[in-house]
Amino acid sequence: MGLNLNDKKAVVAEVSAKVATAQTIVVAEYRGIQVGHLTQLRAKARTQGVYLRVLKNTLARKSVEGTQFAGLADSMVGPLIYSISDDAVAAAKVIADFAKTNDKLVITAGNYAGKQLDKAAVVALASIPSREVLIAQIMGLMLTPVSSFARGLAALAAKKSEGSAPVAEAAAEEAPAAA
């Protein structure tokens, strides 16, 4: 049973709200995928904060109309699943990871910050580490010189304390002999 006009307007409004805050949209053909596998994909998308939806292409075109994602309209042909995320790589990562294990999910296009992406570009975007991992890597790089300096100072202090211990023992031995 099809949607009536009010239902279609509601769907377009919902998807348009997601698109308004999105950084990335990835479009993939899902022809032939079993329902159980799609359920797993949806669960994975939910945990990653990705909005995943199967839409009629005409409704999807209306949802992206007038946005930075309007260029995707040409790619909206066939049975498609739309992956939309506020995170730059999450939508691409969810779809690309699932496509590795299920060859029936075929990435057709994507758009990141208004730039059209083909399948190879979507896979490349998916290979970028997440924001949290990148921040941790940068912090590690920033802390490396400081921790190296601290280890060097500790080694220098240990070396001086080793060298001063025999001198202190010799001074202690001479002090009673002088008395």
Give tens-digit pLDDT for 44-91.
989 988 889 888 888 888 888 888 888 888 888 888 899 998 888 888
Same domain, 95 and 135: no
73 CB-contact burial (10 Å; exposed 0-12 / middle 13-18 / buried 19+): middle
The answer to whether residue 173 is domain-embedded is: no
Same domain, 120 and 143: no
Residues 123 and 95 sit within 8 Å (Cβ to Cβ): no
Average pLDDT over residues 40-47: 90
Same domain, 107 and 154: no
Q: How many domains does the chain have?
A: 2
Same domain, 86 and 153: no
The answer to whether residue 172 is domain-embedded is: no
The answer to whether residue 25 is domain-embedded is: yes
Q: What is the pLDDT of residues 107-155, one digit of tens each?
A: 898 888 888 888 888 888 888 887 778 888 888 888 888 888 888 888 8
Domain, as residue range, for 96: 5-128
User: For position 74, which CATH number holds?
Assistant: 3.30.70.1730
